Structure 1
Amino acid sequence: MLTLPTTLTQVQAQDCLRQLTVGVHSEPAAQVVVDAADLRSFDSSALAVLLALRRECARAGKRFAVQGLPQRLRDLASLYGIEGLLPSA
């Protein structure tokens, strides 16, 4: 399982994505679950990171799911029309 940090804004997005991408390829399971339960401070960059991880999982032949997505981030995903791209674990 991969874990998002407590803060994920534009400032942290690139480094966070780099670290999590390594994690995608290290996960032995056919499904990569991203735990977002600790996420407290974020902007739309958090969605960009999750979508990039989804694409990386697809390239690696793995399924992608998210658990613990904060309600505000779910609302933002819904506003952008991408909630279906972030399946719950």
Structure 2
Amino acid sequence: MLSLPATLTQDHARECLEQLTDGLQAEAAQVVVDAAELRQFDSSALAVLLALRRECARAGKHFAVQGLPQRLRDLATLYGIEGLLPAA
């Protein structure tokens, strides 16, 4: 399982995505991202999750998210992308 950090803003997005992408290699066919520790974030968190989803698709792996904070879920709904972040 991959985990998001407590803080994921624009300042941290590139580094976070690189770490998650590196960790993707060790994951099985189902990649679950744990977002339970995420406390401080902006829309960059959604961009990171969507980019990781694309990487999973390229690798032929299924993507899911667990523990998505309600505020981030609401933001995904506002942007119309909630269906791209399936719950684990």
TM above 0.5, yes or no, is yes
Q: State the Cα RMSD in Å.
A: 0.4
Report what 1:10 is aligned to.
Answer: 10
1:22 maps to a residue whose letter is: D
Inter-partner Cα distance in structure 2 for 1:14 and 1:40: 18
- Listed one character per residue, the Cα deviations across residues 27-83 of structure 1 (whole Å, up to 9, x for unaligned) are 1x1100000000000000000000000000000000000000000000000000000
Q: Is 2:58 aligned against 1:74?
A: no
**How many residues are aligned here?**
88
Establish whether residue 20 from structure 1 lines up as the match of residue 31 from structure 2.
no
Cα separation, 1, equivalents of 2:49 and 2:11: 15
Find the aligned partners of 1:13 and 1:65 in 2 and give their Cα distance.
19
Identity, % of aligned positions: 82
Aligned residue for 1:26, secondary structure, equals coil
In 2, the alpha carbon distance for the partners of 1:24 and 1:47 equals 17
SS of the residue corresponding to residue 69 of structure 1 reads coil
User: Structure 1: where are the runs of 5+ without partners?
Assistant: none
Write the letter of the residue equivalent to 2:8: L
